[in-house]
Structure 1
Amino acid sequence: MPLTALLLAALARPVPIQVDYAAFRGLQMKVGGVTVIEGSGFQYYEKGWKKGYFSSAWKPVNVYPHGNGAFTVIANSDDGQVGCRQTITPTESGFKVTADFNWHNASPAKIEYTIGRLWAPYFDQGELMLDGVPANRLDTAISAGATFEQRLYGSAKSAVFRAPAAKVTVKSNVPLSVMDARNYSIDWADGKELFWLGFTDQDVTSQQGAHFEYEVSVEPEPWADHSAETVTLPLEPLDRAQGPEAVDLPILPNPKQMTKLSGSTRIDGGLEFQLPKGLESEADWFDRFLSGRWAWERSGPPTRVEIRIQPGVAKENGYRLQIDSTGAVLTGQSLEGLRYGIRTLAQLVRAQSGHMELPWVDIVDYPSAQWRGVHLFVGPQAVSFQGKLADRILAPFKLNKVVLQCERTVWDALPGIETNITMKKSDLGKLAENYRALGFEPIPLVQSLGHMEWFFANQKNTSLAVNPKIPYTLDVRKAEARDRISQVWDEVTDVVNPQVGHFGLDEIDMRGIDDPDLTNRLWEKGLPLLQGIARKHGFTPMVWSDMLLAEGEAVDACHAPSLAAAKARRSALERGTYVADWHYRDNPQPAVFDKSLELWNSLGMKPVAATWFRPGNIRGFVLSAIKNRAGILQTTWAGYSSDEANMVREFDQFSAMVMMADYAWSGRQEMPDKLGYDPDVVFQRLYFGERQTVRTRPGLALAGERPGLTQIGPYWLRTFAPRQLYGVTSPAAAGAPHEIQLPVGREAEEAVVALDCLATLDAMAPAGQLVFEFTDGTKTTEVLWYGADVRSVTDKRATLSCPRTGSVSAVAVQLHGKTLKSLTVVATNPAGGLRLHGVTLL
């Protein structure tokens, strides 16, 4: 649990400084509400980074407060080899730290001690002095691909950052290193703008520990009284204020053969087709998909699409779609081929010159991989969230499997383990039913040996853990443990009725066990139990791969302690078992991933290449899977509850489904940056995008200095020179007002506000507010969330809930025909530096 340990606010300084410490994240420091240090940590490792022994990023620490506002952080490893003690003490202008690291092992080790991951935008418009000597400029980030050593600014006992909002000084007893972590391909820096401070490659032995002392002092610039500013801008009419987006979405996955013909067919009256038995639900999906994309009032007779099945029309589960002056014909190689053709047909519908139409095309298409799935968790909101996700993303992109990690469900066999993210059993059944209606095979995943935190939730059943003090692994040597997990699977199969069931089995000894022989014995006892459960219920088992692979047998994620142990564990697998072979190396070359897939095929298993969100990983592993006749599973690790909030926080993991589906179906060879589309934008438009109007709508625009007509998604605005609001990252923003009020005095159904900001914030951090005041005395306030509504000038990703062109997003707010007296843009987050670019009224 996070511990807010001290509030340092010197009486002479109006800017507060706050320090706290939380397990996994480490130390955090805020200055005036802005997170300047976002975390810290340490790790023990073998010289040359050959092996990791301990990391505070994946092992909890204990935080103990003292009466004087100080606190002590203690960390010990499960095996007793690691002992660490840090004491953080407040000072008048910051804090000081003493840290001792001990190592109880005959072999020497190394320590990397991160004392701070600094938010770079706070500092990069200033300068850095190392022992009084100026370092390289901070405003230019090191390029991607540079090594740690190439990223170093240098080492010194004194590092002084002179930033627009504060002077920050760090002094230490031994030289510390300062490194530019922007564009650095490491987990903690991915997608962030950070500087790294710390000590690396420090020696520690059983005879000689490592001792560090450092002090951080902050001299903030006093807050100025930035009053609100009123800006009166003229209203100008716009003949075209809203309409269809300028750029059509690509047809995805990319068809194998698509001939674009000259011409189109108007379909203002909609489309009608007669589907064969087994595809009745596709008509409902087709209507939902089009209704979600287009504000379409049908007029005139519908256009008929001829539907038929012809086995030789394309390869397995393919289709041919022909649209020309004579009509539209969809021919499937199978029922599934017809399903996929319907989903391409839905993507082809577009608006043109005030009418709905289908372009003339001749498409022959089929999947390169037959097994194409996603891995998702469940939760209280999973039915509604995944219903929308399946309708708008998974189904149109022709995926056909979904692995539902569903152990956090209310099980009769395990009373008392429920938490606020537990799903009702009836909802799990509904979720599986919904997926089947869309042509997906639902595959339940219940961790059944390791990663058993769900089983021991609320301190229940801990006597059935291998290590009750660290309840993580189920002790399948105990009859009661075997009975309980069997009963859970009885309930799972009752509800889901699966053809395949996933038992997990990854990282089974990651916590609470430090005996490879014990892990082997648990495997020998547990695997026959689980395979017996699968036989009893008539489904094929699936397992993760890592505990079955030894070092060198795959590109990464090889967690068997030796080749002999890996072979022994594999020998217990029944032929035909699905092996979800997870490897997350960000390498676009397929050959890198061939080795493990070839191994599973040689053993008679059914390999499934489990990818993550990294583009290179997706291309390389998917193309290897196609070559090796394997399935493909896009994994998500975005919290244990499946809901829209977690999706927004980990958006990259979900937008990656677009790219994976494209490569898996099409087998296309282009590199990820040459695909011709941005997966973030495609996902945003389909999932979050408003229904597009078929005809253009007029409106009014506020016109400022240097106005230009700009289209952002479906909206047009008279964008002007940006109006800066308060922020701490640049001298100009530091002198800007906290609020800008725009008098309006007009009736409107909708307001569209064009915005960006100077600095990248955490996902879903509040960036500001829009306050709408009406002539009837009422007000409406809309919070602007970073990543959903606005992004920084350096953050090129799509905004999730609204369209974006360049750096500017268009935030649309419904006003319901009321008379708008004024609009006020408020910079509630001093870190952001919000900017206003234009306003359109509809």
Structure 2
Amino acid sequence: NQLQVPPLTIIDYPDLLWRGVHLFGGTQIAFHQRLIGNLIGNLKFNRLVVECGYSQWDAIKPAWVEFSVPKANLREIVALAQTNQLEPIPLLQSLGHMSWLFRNQANIELAEDPETPWAICPRREASRQLLRKLFDEVLAIFPHGAFHLGLDEVTMRGRFPYSPECRGASVAQLFSEHFRWLVNELQARGIRKVMLWSDMLLAPGEAHDGAANAADTESARLTREQVLKAIADAPKPAPELWLCDWHYTPTEPDSYRSLDLLRRAGFPRLIATTWYNPQNIYTFAQAARQRRIDGLLQSTWAGYSLTEQTLRDAPEQFLAYVLAAIYAWNGDAPPPEQLPFDIEAFFHERYRREPISLQAQSGFLVDLRPAYNLRLSEIDANALQELPYGRARFEGHLFLLADMPNQPNALMLFSPLAPDDPARYPREVVIPLPRTVRTLYFLHATGWQAERNEEVARYVLEYADGTQAELPLLYGVHVRAYNDPNPAMESPPVWSRRVGKQWVRLRLLRWQNPHPDKPVRALRLQAGQTSAGYLLLGLSAD
């Protein structure tokens, strides 16, 4: 009559020691609190690279815009990182990609090309004075450990070189001498690790994709040599140099040839940098592991200020954090399409962290069975055959479904792609709902895919006083097709199954009644001008 716990030994260690996420700050700190505290900090990452040009730096106050990040938010991000065992690393672009410096036509006199303000003039003393002020402000918030200088895509926009001070010099010469000055400035401020992007050190053909922006192989070779020499010439102990080699186009692990070139050139510390393509994350992590380089950095390019709206608009970039965590830790994990769990469902669970009530909750079920007009097997014979029937719970939410699997089990609104007679599928359905309602819960999907943000249906809540509230259902935001692999942040998967090589999903949408105290008369479901074929399987409310 005793509880016995058998002994267990777990041997677990990462393939890549340096595992990081790159992101921007934001004006809504609650988003970063959830993103870092609930998700990133629980995925065994150990670095957080925070790009912070678009922030409220005192030195560039005339360039502030509505989404410039308050310093208080940056401090909170640093504290969140440290609380979650993440080393916070600032990234301040220090040559190109400096549009944040020139907003509102501010500081145009420092631009290398004033007509296209993108890069600063690296030889102008006023540019250096401003960078010194910015470094001091950044390092008043971030720890004095590592510092990412950016330095990518310097020549992507505008004329470089163009200013009187720089005319006659090559890009490689200007880049190299500016990098040497930057290293000296950061070392004087106690920085022990200097980071930069790799593309200006690679020429076309030296990488498998377009992330190689040196003019030619000789310019790339010269830049590599001078960057290494700048570190070698720095006062001892010299800062470490960490090169972030970014490539976002997937290829075979053996074909990420830039890693081999940079290692041969003498760069001991390399970080494979990925974006949101699942196959790229998988194969680049494998390439990093095979070559025993230091780590992987998962980048986020979804705007200069990250908010909940960013997550809604670019969810694939945030779901990619889960993939990066998996493959940076375990290169033997199966490829993305063979992972044994639903990445999107996992993301929602970790990011939302919704409390689970231990007590029964009040609510009611809406019986949709009289309105069912489709057997899901009519549109896919196999994908949804494991769907439960009768009273069924999905992630704690109770619904009333079809009684038997061979009966109609879904309500489909009109779609020209729907099987059999189009008259079976109404353009509008009215569901009587004579009571007060706080929240409606919809178990749903669509039969076919549509363009993102296309309205596939509309909910209309009719109140007893004759007023209405409406919710347009946007594809890719509130709903997706049952076999669409892409996410919808407003409607997490609550039933997922792997069928062959694809996942099939049903989603849960919560609609908070904007007027919960007003008695409701009915709920109208209206088809959109699309062929997606809106499917409603269950409806409950509280």
Give your verdict on TM over 0.5: yes
Q: Does residue 673 of the first structure (1) align with residue 337 of the second (2)?
A: yes
| Structure 2 equivalent of residue 15 of structure 1 | none
**Aligned equivalent of 2:432:** 743
2:476 is the counterpart of 1:811: no
User: Secondary structure of 2:522's match?
Assistant: strand
Pairs within 5 Å for 1:37-56:
none
- What is the Cα deviation at residue 373 of structure 1? 0.5
Q: 2:317 aligns with which of 653, 661, 674?
A: 653
Alignment partner, residue 384 of structure 1: 30
User: Map of 1:753-764 to 2, 5 A cutoff?
Assistant: 753-758=442-447, 760-764=449-453
Residue in 1 that maps onto 2:165: none
More helix per residue: 1 or 2? Answer: 2
Code of the aligned partner of 1:821 = R
2:63 match: secondary structure: coil
Match in the other structure for 1:836: 536
Structure 2 partner of 1:531: 183
Residue 718 of structure 1 corresponds to 400
Given that residues 506 and 544 in structure 1 are in contact (C-alpha distance below 8 angstroms), is that contact kept between their aligned partners in structure 2?
A: yes
Q: Deviations over 1:243-285 (max 9, x none)?
A: xxxxxxxxxxxxxxxxxxxxxx9xxxxxxxxxxxxxxxxxxxx
Paired residue type of 2:196: V
2:522 paired with 1:822: yes
TM-score using structure 2 length: 0.81
Matched letter for residue 297 of structure 2: L
Distance 1:598 1:519 in 2: 21
1:518 Cα deviation after fit: 3.4
Q: How does 1:727-806 map to 2 (within 5 A)?
A: 738-746=427-435, 750-758=439-447, 760-764=449-453, 766-775=455-464, 780-804=469-493, 805=495, 806=504
Task: Indicate how the Cα distance of structure 1 residues 792 and 778 shifts in structure 2: closer, same or farther if over 3 A, else same.
Answer: same
Per-residue deviation, 1:819: 5.7
- The question of whether the paired residues in 1 share the 8 Å contact of 2:54 and 2:69 is answered with yes
Whether 2:240 is the aligned partner of 1:558: answer no
Judge conservation of contact 1:688–1:801 (CA < 8 Å) in 2: no
Residue number in structure 1 paired with 2:366? 701
* 1:620 aligns to 2:320 (yes or no): no
Aligned residues of 2:112 and 2:119 also touching (Cα < 8 A)? yes
Q: Deviations over 1:635-673 (max 9, x none)?
A: 111122211211221111111110110111123242222
Note if contact 2:461-2:523 (Cα within 8 Å) is conserved in structure 1: yes
Matched, 1:445 2:133: no
| Structure 2 residue aligned with 1:630 | 294
Residues 391, 434 of structure 1: alpha-carbon distance in 2 compared, 3 angstrom cutoff: closer
Give the corresponding residue for 1:460: 106
SS of match in other structure, 1:580: strand
Write the distance in 2 (CA, Å) between the matches of 1:431 and 1:620: 30
Measure, in 2, the Cα distance between the counterparts of 1:422 and 1:767: 35
Map 1:12-91 to 2 at 5 A: none
Once the two structures are TM-superposed, the CA of residue 776 in structure 1 deviates from its matched residue by 7.3
2:117 to 471, 478, 496: 471
Are 1:615 and 1:672, in contact at CA under 8 Å, matched by a contact in 2?
yes
C-alpha spacing 1:541/1:772, structure 2 compared with 1 (3 Å): same
> Partner of 1:145 in structure 2?
none
Aligned residues of 2:271 and 2:293 also touching (Cα < 8 A): no
Q: Report what 1:578 is aligned to.
A: 242
Q: Which runs of 5+ in 2 are unaligned?
A: 162-167, 233-239, 376-388, 402-407, 496-503
1:579–1:600 contact (8 Å) kept in structure 2: no
Bigger mean CA offset, 410-419 vs 793-802: 793-802
Range moving further from structure 2, 429-438 or 743-752? 743-752
From 65, 87, 102, the counterpart of 1:419 = 65
**Bigger radius of gyration, 1 or 2?**
1
CA contact (8 A) 1:475 1:522 kept: no
SS at match of 1:568: helix
Specify which of 573, 590, 597 is matched with residue 253 of structure 2.
590
**How much does 1:372 deviate?**
0.6
Name the CA distance, whole Å, in 1 between partners of 2:301 and 2:453: 18
SS in 2 for 1:743: strand
SS in 1 for 2:60: coil
Q: CA RMSD in A?
A: 3.1
- C-alpha distance 638-659 of structure 1, shift in aligned 2 (>3 A): same
1:426 alignment partner AA: A
User: 2:17 matched to 1:370?
Assistant: yes
Work out whether residues 752 and 839 of structure 1, in 8 Å CA contact, stay in contact via their aligned partners in 2. yes
Distance 1:432 1:733 in 2: 57
Question: 1:614 Cα deviation (Å)?
Answer: 1.4
TM-score (norm: length of structure 1): 0.53
SS in 1 for 2:305: coil
CA apart distance, 1:826: 3.2
Cα deviation per residue 1:35-74 (whole Å; 9 max; x = unaligned)? xxxxxxxxxxxxxxxxxxxxxxxxxxxxxxxxxxxxxxxx
Q: Distance in 2 between matches of 1:530 and 1:727?
A: 61
Aligned residue identity for 1:554: A
Q: Distance in 2 between matches of 1:729 and 1:418?
A: 50
Matches within 5 A, 1:153-552: 325-326=4-5, 362-381=9-28, 383-513=29-159, 518-539=170-191, 540-552=193-205
For 1:764 and 1:420, the matched residues in 2 are separated by 25
Partner of 1:342: none
Q: Distance in 2 between matches of 1:391 and 1:529?
A: 37
Deviation at 1:535, TM superposition (A): 0.7
Query: How many angstroms apart in 2 are the aligned matches of 1:536 and 1:478?
Result: 20
Counterpart amino acid of 1:701?
V
Letter in 1 for 2:215: P
Q: How far, CA to CA, are the matches of 2:280 and 2:304 in structure 1?
A: 23
How many residue pairs match? The answer is 486
Aligned counterpart, 2:349: 685
The unaligned stretches of length 5 or more in structure 1 are 1-264, 266-323, 330-360
For the residue of structure 2 that corresponds to 1:458, the secondary structure is helix
Contact 2:461 2:468 in 1 (8 A): yes
Tell me which residue corresponds to 1:294.
none
CA distance in 2, matches of 1:682, 1:488: 39
Q: Say if 1:487 and 1:671 are closer, same or farther in 2 by CA, change over 3 A.
A: same
C-alpha change, 1:669 and 1:831, in structure 2 (3 Å) is closer
- 1:734 to 1:397, Cα distance in 2 relative to 1, 3 A: farther
Instruction: Provide the C-alpha distance between the structure 2 equivalents of 1:543 and 1:744, rounded to a whole number of angstroms.
Output: 60
Q: 2:303 aligns with which of 634, 639, 644?
A: 639
Decide whether the 8 Å contact of 1:681 with 1:798 is kept in 2.
no
Asked if the contact 1:684–1:798 (Cα under 8 Å) also holds between the matched residues in 2, the reply is no
Residue 538 of structure 1 aligns with an amino acid whose one-letter code is G
What whole-Å deviation, never above 9, does each CA across 1:771-792 have from its counterpart, x for those lacking one?
3345577755444343232113
1:425-467 per-position Cα deviation (integer Å, ceiling 9, x unaligned): 2221221122112111111111111111111111111221111
Corresponding residue SS for 1:822: strand
The C-alpha deviation readout for 1:573-592, integer Å capped at 9, x for no partner, is: 226211011012212x3222
Task: Please state how far the C-alpha of 1:632 moved relative to its aligned partner.
Answer: 0.8
Task: Report sequence identity in percent.
Answer: 29
How many angstroms does 1:371 deviate by? 0.9
Contact 2:443 2:509 in 1 (8 A): yes
In the alignment, what sits opposite 2:380? none
How far apart in 2 are the matches of 1:636 and 1:611? 9
Give 3-state SS (helix, strand or coil) of 1:609's partner: strand
